[in-house]
Each structure stands twice: as C-alpha cells, then as structure tokens.
Copies of this chain bind each other. A is one copy, B any other.
C-alpha cells in the first residue's frame, strides 16, 4: 500500500458489519479495531475492562444525564473519561497506520483525518435470521428465541443510535455522512467486502467532475 488507508464502519446490529470489517482488514493486510478498543481504553484509564465493556458504545442514561448540573461535572465522571480515552486512542491509531475501525463514532471523531466511511445495514428479518443462526453455530447454551432476539436487535440499534447522536452532530445511518451504504441481505458479507474494495480502488483520484466528457 502506497499511502495510509483508514476505513470506518458503522452498522446495524446483526447486519454483519463487524465481520465485513474483519475480513476487509485481513484482505488488505491492515489492523482491525472493534472490541480491541475496549481493552486499550481500560488500560489507558485504569478502569477494569469489565466496567469499560459495560459502558461501551452507550450514551449516558437520560435519567442519569439529567442529574448532571454542569458539563464540568460530566467531564469528570468515569463514564466520560472512558469515552474521551477511547476517542483519543482512535485519533492516535488513525494518525499512525492504516486500519479498519468499527463503530464508536469513529467516522465523526476522525473528521480531520482522510478516511472512507461505510455504513452496513439489512432488513430486520434478515438480521434476525443471521443472529439466530449464529446462536446455533456458536453453540450457545441458552440460545435466544425469535421474540427475545428481535427485542435485543432493536435495543442495540437504539443504543448505537443514542451513542452516535450524543457524541456527534450527525444522524446515525443517514446517507449524507457516509461514502457508501451497503445492504448485506443480498450482497452477503464477502460481497460487501468486495464492494468496499472496489470503492477503495476507484476512489483514488476520482471526484464528482471526473466523469464529465469535455
């Protein structure tokens, strides 16, 4: 690779966005960050990993936030410290090397760093199918049923949306802030990887004027 390449991937729960990112990074031979960021934030703040994980990609509770009287107080809370640490780790990583970063509002955090911003989604019935299949494949001891899984999917999407919109000025998953939005229900995971790779190959030196015949 001749220059630094940073790809941020946000995703609906169950759409396969994590897997798309993992395979993309593997194929490109670059670093991949998703849960890896949790451990890094933990070691940076001194909080136990379990606590950091519990608060990962979550906006503060509304009831909790409403108790906070000033921004100063909020900034000094462990919760805010962890997020700040994670954002600073993301900036640090992206400044040094090519990588794929999943979630954590990375597309917004890296506003000053050139990067490709992708959103992965799929209809909820398809995501349900995928998550239920994964429960079996991963031999879960108490696999979730359909109703529970739908509830979990909606809850996680809501969490991600609230987190994203708490820390950014953008709307989660609204096309304007992304370079590419891919529905995995027919493209599949590997299809999405290939589509992003085509985007990477083609976007070098292209712009909106490049197609005009003079």
Task: Report A's interface with B, CB cutoff 8 A.
Answer: 15-16, 19, 23, 116, 119, 121-123, 126-127, 129-130, 133-134, 137, 173-176, 178-191, 194-195, 198-199, 201-203, 206-214
Contacts and interface: CB of A to CB of B under 8 A. Distances in A.
13 contacts: A127-B208, A129-B208, A133-B212, A137-B214, A180-B187, A180-B195, A184-B208, A186-B207, A187-B202, A187-B203, A189-B211, A190-B202, A194-B198
Contact of A195 (B116, B121, B195, B208): B195
A213 B174 CA distance: 31
Given A189-B211, A211-B189, A179 B175 contact: no
Contacts of A127: 208
Among A19, A180, A189, A211: residue with most chain B CB under 10 A: A211
A176 B124 CA distance: 10
Contacts of A212: 130, 133-134, 137
Among A23, A187, A189, A210: residue with most chain B CB under 10 A: A187
B191 A199 contact: yes
A208 B130 contact: yes
B211 A176 contact: no
Given A130-B212, A210-B190, A175 B185 contact: no
A172 B175 CA distance: 11
B185 A207 contact: yes
Contacts of A119: 175
Contact of A16 (B116, B201, B202, B211): B211
Nearest to A175: B181
Sorted nearest first, the 10 A-B pairs with minimum C-beta distance are: A189-B211, A188-B206, A191-B202, A181-B181, A188-B210, A198-B198, A186-B203, A126-B208, A179-B183, A130-B208
